């Protein structure tokens, strides 16, 4: 199993940047593909980005492509989401998730989740 804790959320103005971190427990972090998802009030959980076990493969939702970057440091058991050019529609609770299988865009493919971190982008 792996336990996940997100950090780095906050309030930022339109056009600003934030970097989210997701710290994982356990000695097998490098075995897991990781994903970032978000959920705004009244909306379904939405895929943001995923990264494979060694960081060589990444994939993004169209809504964040070119603005967000996912990366990982297996030595630090951490995955990151660098978010630039933030927009009000990026406001949501952001979650990191892990799967021992290949990275996927469907949230139900991920059995392990962090508690989330709030990102609010003011207009």
pLDDT at position 5: 98
* Nearest one of 97, 81, 90, 91 to 18, comparing CA atoms: 81
Q: Is the pLDDT of residue 51 over 90?
A: yes
* Mean pLDDT computed over every residue of the chain: 96
Q: Could you give the CA distance from residue 34 to residue 114 in angstroms, rounded to a whole number?
A: 11
Mean pLDDT of 90-94: 98
pLDDT at position 27: 74
pLDDT at position 26: 78
Rg of the chain on CA atoms, in Å: 13
Helices (H), 1-123: none
Note whether 85 and 112 are within 8 A (CB): no
* Nearest one of 111, 117, 118, 121 to 35, comparing CA atoms: 111
Mean pLDDT of 24-28: 87
CA distances for 47 relative to 27, 32, 34, 64, 97, angstroms? 26, 17, 12, 10, 10
Q: Is the pLDDT of residue 1 over 90?
A: no
pLDDT band at 53 (very low <50, low <70, confident <90, very high): very high
């Amino acid at each position: 199993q792996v336990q996940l804790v997100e950090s780095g959320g906050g309030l930022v103005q339109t056009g600003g940047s934030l970097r989210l971190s997701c710290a994982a427990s356990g000695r097998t972090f490098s075995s897991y593909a990781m994903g970032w998802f978000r959920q705004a009030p009244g909306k379904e959980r939405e895929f943001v980005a995923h990264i494979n076990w060694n960081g060589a493969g990444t994939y993004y939702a169209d809504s964040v492509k070119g603005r967000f970057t996912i990366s990982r440091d297996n030595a630090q058991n951490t995955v990151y989401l660098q978010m630039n050019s933030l927009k009000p529609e990026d406001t949501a609770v952001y979650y990191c998730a892990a799967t021992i299988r290949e990275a996927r865009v469907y949230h139900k493919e991920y059995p392990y989740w962090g508690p989330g971190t709030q990102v609010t982008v003011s207009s």
